[in-house]
Structure 1
């Protein structure tokens, strides 16, 4: 018991130190695109029946899966479960993968069946990731997104993520593209388990539709690395749904490539996938 408590204490101290380092790093960001220019948690606008909105997933979409952030995040989740639920690594992996597959996010299952505080989970798991040692400004990505804005065929470029806002905004700030978006729809962890909704739940898409002011799904473009999420976008009637499949890697938990999806290796390939938006 003493060994377990000592291990938990060391784990929590490590997390605290990493959070402090991450906060210091964010304060130093001053390059182009490192500042968020849209208002957070803005009110619901009047839906515009003519507005065209491009929805962008963030994790493993705006940055390459080959950065291995997904794997680092999975290890962060396992470490949290091992230390906070006092279970072994195999059980932690089973819980994580099972809840992710069932609910789209492991945290929902953890809230429902283990009484986990979602905001503390987010702080410990996502906010503590050392992203500054993995990501850097992506000038090619910025060039493509900037050109998409400048061409004027899209009225709004909108972030649409299953992450909480802290992690989501840290990613786009480090990548140097935070100023190119008009808003964000994120998963609100500060609610009860029955109110926590995320992709591919159609209610999450409806939330993004309302918050962005999109009047009709037929005027929406959507890019995501999850086949399940892309499939839901297609079912809802989004104009074009694009799946990022890097190096032909398809994750079974995220779902296979759905019929009707456009495929790209990265977001930088958008001019090839949707050339009409870059004319």
Structure 2
């Protein structure tokens, strides 16, 4: 066996062990908000012209960027590329950053130009992240979301993510807020590369609009950590778009804060951005 093949074998065994640990931990969760209470992949409802929907991004939005999950995820992507495509770290970094900037999601470029199986990629990258060692129930965030729903100014709170559903649901379960939402629009890794759509593609927003039953973008609120995504929300006419910018850190690949966006340091500061929803 060559050294390269030996490293690849060790990589796959390490990922398999982590996946088994992650599944075991997920099955043990029993804290408040650890169970998903909304239907997944439900039938598209009839649109309601009066319905108000608040769309929530997940990664680096519902939890703080300072958790360093983004950095851990990026290293997981690089490890995958180096082992599966048999390339060095520098080439892997170039591919990852280039596709991420071009398509909003690296896996789309990997599907298009390298024949990568998106579901296998998701398993080896996102599903293998040791999130249970990083994320804990966020009682302050839970209280904010609970108050938002109880005030009744919004008809639905809706998850809107570029992640696949496995990762998205795992995050909100770990945070103890899985029961604070009415549904989810996620990036479907089970489709062909030419059908894979994600933010900031307007088709992704249209998908979220249809799946949530939103009748008009003018009745939508949207929060995300990506300036590009927030800019698209504003361009589509969403009522208010909020960007989470922690400690003045703006990821240039994700875009600067667009004109017209509201800015908060943490998702828990949401009542300051849209006080009308908490009256």
The two structures have a TM-score, normalised by structure 2, of 1.00
1:44 alignment partner in structure 2: 44
Q: How does 1:128-207 map onto structure 2 within 5 Å?
A: 128-207=128-207
Deviation of the 1:276 alpha carbon: 0.1
Distance 1:21 1:70 in 2: 20
> Which residue of structure 1 lines up, in the alignment, with residue 82 of structure 2?
82
Q: How far apart are residue 108 of structure 1 and its match?
A: 0.5
Secondary structure, aligned partner of 1:49 = coil
**Cα RMSD after superposing both structures:** 0.5
Give a deviation string over 1:113-138, Cα, whole Å, max 9, x none.
00000000000000000000000000
CA distance in 1, matches of 2:203, 2:278: 31
- Tell me what 1:58 maps to: 58
1:258-273 correspondence to structure 2 within 5 Å:
258-273=258-273
| Distance in 2 between residues matched to 1:12 and 1:124, nearest whole Å | 8
Structure 2, unaligned stretches of length 5 or more?
none
Are 1:71 and 2:95 an aligned pair?
Answer: no
Partner residue in 2 for 1:255: 255
Instruction: Quote how far apart the aligned CAs of 1:42 are.
Output: 0.3
**How far, CA to CA, are the matches of 2:222 and 2:131 in structure 1?**
25
In 2: Cα distance, 1:194 partner to 1:115 partner:
12
> 1:90 Cα deviation (Å)?
0.3
Consecutive unaligned residues in structure 1, runs of 5 or more = none
Which stretches of structure 1, 4 residues or more, deviate above 3 A after TM superposition? none
Offset, 1:107: 0.3
Within 5 Å, which residues of 2 pair with 1:19-30?
Answer: 19-30=19-30
1:104 to 2:104 alignment = yes
**Which residue in the other structure is 2:114 paired with?**
114
> What aligned pairs does 1:5-16 form with structure 2 within 5 A after superposition?
5-16=5-16
- Aligned partners of 2:227, 2:68: CA distance in 1, in Å? 19
Whole-angstrom distance in 2 between the partners of 1:85 and 1:4: 11
Give the structure 2 partner of residue 236 of structure 1: 236
Deviation for aligned residue 1:177: 0.1
Q: Report how far residue 173 of structure 1 moved.
A: 0.1
Structure 1 residue 81: deviation in Å? 0.2
2:24 paired with 1:3: no
Alpha-carbon distance between aligned partners in 1 of 2:270 and 2:83, rounded to the nearest angstrom: 42
The number of aligned residues is 279
SS in 2 for 1:194: helix
State the TM-score, normalized to the length of structure 1: 1.00
- Measure, in 2, the Cα distance between the counterparts of 1:50 and 1:268: 27
How far apart, CA to CA, are the structure 2 residues paired with 1:23 and 1:38?
A: 21
Deviation (angstroms), 1:271: 0.6
Shift of 1:257: 0.3
Mapped to 2, the partners of 1:213 and 1:128 lie a distance apart of 33
1:195-221 CA-partner distances (Å, limit 9, x unpaired) = 000000000000000000000000000
